[in-house]
Structure 1
Amino acid sequence: MSAPHAARVSAVPHSRARLSRQLSSLGAERGGVLMVHASLRSLGAVDGGADSVVAALRDALGPGGTLVVPAFTPENSDTSPQYHARIRGLGDQEREAVRAAMPAFDPATTAAPSMGRLSEAVRRSPGSARSAHPQTSFAALGPLAGHVVADHQPDCHLGEDSPLARLHELRAQVLLLGTGFGSCTAFHLAEYRVPSPPRRTYRCVVRDGGKRRWWEYEDVALDDSDFTALGADFEREQGAPVRTAAVGSATARLFRFPAAVAFATRWLPAHRRGAVENRTAHPATRTAVT
């Protein structure tokens, strides 16, 4: 199914009820598990703001449905693109002052500002659960929230010991709400499933026994620089795996998690062959996890 043009920006704020109807028409599965990446700016004005969007998503899923969002925190890492942008042009003492002021990750309280207003609204919602990874946590609401976020190992960003593997097992749906495939976290699980993926070192601030300390670990070298091209090929795949429609003022895309991972697992080795050194030296620019 080809992508429609985004709906015109409405002079009247979109209502929770209207968004819920549009999400249901798109194919959001009642009683299912849905991972969402959203740009609320693209969605347009909504009566009630981000909380109403969360409510509309939960209305579409019904009481048995589970809503999942990324709650990544690159702000506590000195190996992230965000950190390097922040210290650009600073002297040694100024850089050290920035590092000294970086807060340790606390799953109960640490905000995820780079993930957007929807993710923050889900994270702050009563009853939400959050995984414990200090850089790539996920927040969830619904009956399966605890199961999705459980046992997220601290040395596995987005692989088999992360919520992405649980979402794959549950045959979750993925919703790109006003965002492109460059934001599609599901593709990262495929990076762990290709033969001999490159690895790199990560470092972040954690809390250990009530004390703040730096922790260094090795994991797969994540790279979303080609996810837009990957998504375009996935969208063109025979059998129309991606459904598209207007939701609010945005274009929304909906697809199954396993379909995206299976396609990416085939696509990545063919399209990244010979680029391992560049990918290791120049890690992810948009995925805020390094």
Structure 2
Amino acid sequence: MPAPLPTGPLVTRASLACDLRALGVEAGEILLVHSSLSSLGWVNGGQAAVVQALLDALGDDGTLVVPAHSGDLTDPALWSDPPVPADWWETVRATMPGYDPRTTPSRSVGVIPEAVRSWPGALRSAHPQTSFAALGPRAAEIVEGHAPDCRLGERSPLARLEERGARVLMLGAGYGACTGFHLAEYRVPHRTEDAGRPGPAGWEHVGEVAISADRFDELGTAFERDVPVVTGRVGAAQTRLFPLADAVAYAQKWLPAHRPPRP
């Protein structure tokens, strides 16, 4: 029995760029993109075509930024998708490869960020778990200085993006993936946790602000209800476009009222 034909829609680099411009993406801006390739339809050229379309819409003066997180460089005791047996944990910690911004692949952020990370000329920040990758003339100023003990706070690319007026493009991704909300977590009452990871001298225990995407979808729904958000379709994907600073400011008020820190 022959395989069924794809249902589409058929999406191309040119059609994606056209949709992005129609949505409101502007040449020369800084754009933080959270994405889902599968939501777009049948993309001719896959993730590479999406990256090219984003760069086309941003133009030579625009800068594309994506999360390039490496969530596998974490304590295996905390893994759940999938977990590993407890009697493996010690060996996994002892043999886990260290972070190399040039070669460590991104994980659990989608194939489009991995394409950006490996794109010629891309720069990547230094945090071993929550790095960002960027392409464009302002890439260096965004990714430089990512402190090793600040995953998504004031000394991370998120704060640099906020300062520079970046906008967020949720390209088929839900608000649960919105990293900007994490920046707000650093600015409200919070607890700390051990963010262990491999280091040059072996396993490192690093105190960090506890972060969680718990209730981010609910937060996003409230944000979109109360703050202007541009919505539309890019390919088949439901897409949202808004200033990062607006999302952070809203989350700073919403989180303490609806999701107080756990003791």
Q: TM-score, normalised by structure 2?
A: 0.93
Query: Which segments of 5 or more consecutive residues in structure 2 lack a partner in the other structure?
Result: 1-5
Residue of 235, 251, 254 corresponding to 1:264? 251
What residue in structure 2 maps to residue 249 of structure 1?
A: 236
What residue in structure 2 maps to residue 199 of structure 1?
A: 192
What is the aligned residue count? 258
CA distance, structure 2, for counterparts of residue 80 and residue 141 of structure 1: 34
What residue in structure 1 maps to residue 182 of structure 2?
A: 188
From the superposition, tell whether residues 11 and 77 of structure 1 become closer, same or farther in structure 2 (CA, over 3 Å).
closer
CA distance, structure 2, for counterparts of residue 26 and residue 73 of structure 1: 30
CA distance, structure 1, for counterparts of residue 181 and residue 173 of structure 2: 15
Aligned-partner SS, 1:41? helix
CA distance, structure 2, for counterparts of residue 100 and residue 29 of structure 1: 47
Residue of 145, 150, 153 corresponding to 1:159? 153
Conservation of the 8 A alpha-carbon contact between 1:79 and 1:202: no
CA distance, structure 1, for counterparts of residue 247 and residue 25 of structure 2: 16
CA distance, structure 2, for counterparts of residue 75 and residue 39 of structure 1: 20
Query: Which segments of 5 or more consecutive residues in structure 1 lack a partner in the other structure?
Result: 1-8, 278-290
What residue in structure 2 maps to residue 276 of structure 1?
A: 262
Aligned-partner SS, 1:105? coil
CA distance, structure 1, for counterparts of residue 169 and residue 148 of structure 2: 26
From the superposition, tell whether residues 56 and 84 of structure 1 become closer, same or farther in structure 2 (CA, over 3 Å).
closer
What residue in structure 2 maps to residue 69 of structure 1?
A: 66
Residue of 212, 215, 224 corresponding to 2:213? 224
What residue in structure 2 maps to residue 131 of structure 1?
A: 125
1:276 Cα deviation from its structure 2 partner: 2.0
Conservation of the 8 A alpha-carbon contact between 2:192 and 2:210: yes
Alpha-carbon RMSD across the aligned residues, in angstroms, is 1.7
Aligned-partner SS, 1:251? strand
Conservation of the 8 A alpha-carbon contact between 1:69 and 1:139: yes
1:162 Cα deviation from its structure 2 partner: 0.2
CA distance, structure 1, for counterparts of residue 89 and residue 259 of structure 2: 34
From the superposition, tell whether residues 229 and 84 of structure 1 become closer, same or farther in structure 2 (CA, over 3 Å).
closer
Conservation of the 8 A alpha-carbon contact between 1:159 and 1:189: yes
After TM superposition, which residue ranges in structure 1, 4 or more long, deviate above 2 angstroms? 9-13, 79-86, 94-101
From the superposition, tell whether residues 23 and 84 of structure 1 become closer, same or farther in structure 2 (CA, over 3 Å).
closer
CA distance, structure 2, for counterparts of residue 260 and residue 25 of structure 1: 22
Q: TM-score, normalised by structure 1?
A: 0.85
CA distance, structure 2, for counterparts of residue 141 and residue 60 of structure 1: 13
From the superposition, tell whether residues 264 and 12 of structure 1 become closer, same or farther in structure 2 (CA, over 3 Å).
closer
Conservation of the 8 A alpha-carbon contact between 2:175 and 2:217: yes
1:47 Cα deviation from its structure 2 partner: 1.1
1:204 Cα deviation from its structure 2 partner: 0.3
